[in-house]
Amino acid sequence: MKIKEKKLEKEIMMKKPQRKSDSGYKIDLVTMDGEGSFPCPKCGMTISPEDETEENYKILDTKVINEELVELVIACAKCGSTIILTGFQGIDA
Ligand SMILES: [Zn+2]
C-alpha cells in the first residue's frame, strides 16, 4: 500500500524530539527488572528514579492521582530525551 507508506513517512518526519510530555519515550516500570532503574531508550545510560541526587536525570513533571504517583516525566541528563515513566503502582514502597 503506497499511500499508507507515504503517510507514515510524513508522520516520522514531523516528529520533533523536544515536544511536550506525550512525545517522549514511554517506560512502564512494571515491565522492568530490578529496583526500578532502566537504561535510557536513546543513549543507554542507566537512570534510577530512586536516585535522589538527580545526577542522571531531571524531573520535568509528575502526575499524582489519589496521592499516588502515576506518572513521572524526566529528561535524561546525558542526551536530553524526554522519558515518561509509568507503572509505579506495582512497586512496593
Ligand atoms: Zn539518554
User: pLDDT 10s per residue in the chain (93 long)?
Assistant: 566 666 666 655 555 544 444 578 999 988 877 677 889 999 999 998 777 788 899 999 999 999 998 999 999 999 999 999 998 875 454
Supply the pLDDT for residue 49: 73
**Residue 4: inside a domain:** no
Quick one: cell of 25? 519515550
**If you measure from the C-alpha of residue 50 to the centroid of ligand 1, how many angstroms do you get, rounded to a whole number?**
17
Number of other residues whose CB lies within 10 A of the CB of residue 73: 18
**Domain for residue 1, yes or no?**
no
Is 6 within a domain? no
**Any domain includes 71:** yes
Q: What is the pLDDT of residue 55?
A: 87
Residue 1 CA to ligand 1 centre (angstroms): 35
Evaluate whether 76 touches 83 at the Cβ level (below 8 Å).
yes
CA of 82 to the centre of ligand 1 (A): 9
Domain-located, residue 7:
no
Report the separation in Å between the CA atom of 77 and the middle of ligand 1, taken as the mean of its atom positions.
Answer: 7
Q: How many domains does the chain have?
A: 1
Q: Rounded to two decimals, what is the model's pTM?
A: 0.67
Q: Which of 89, 86, 92 is nearest to 28 (CA)?
A: 86
Query: What is the span of the domain harbouring residue 75?
Result: 17-90
CA 38–ligand 1 middle distance (angstroms):
11
**Helices and strands in the chain, H and E counts:** 1, 6
- 47: in domain: yes
| Per-residue pLDDT, 58 | 93
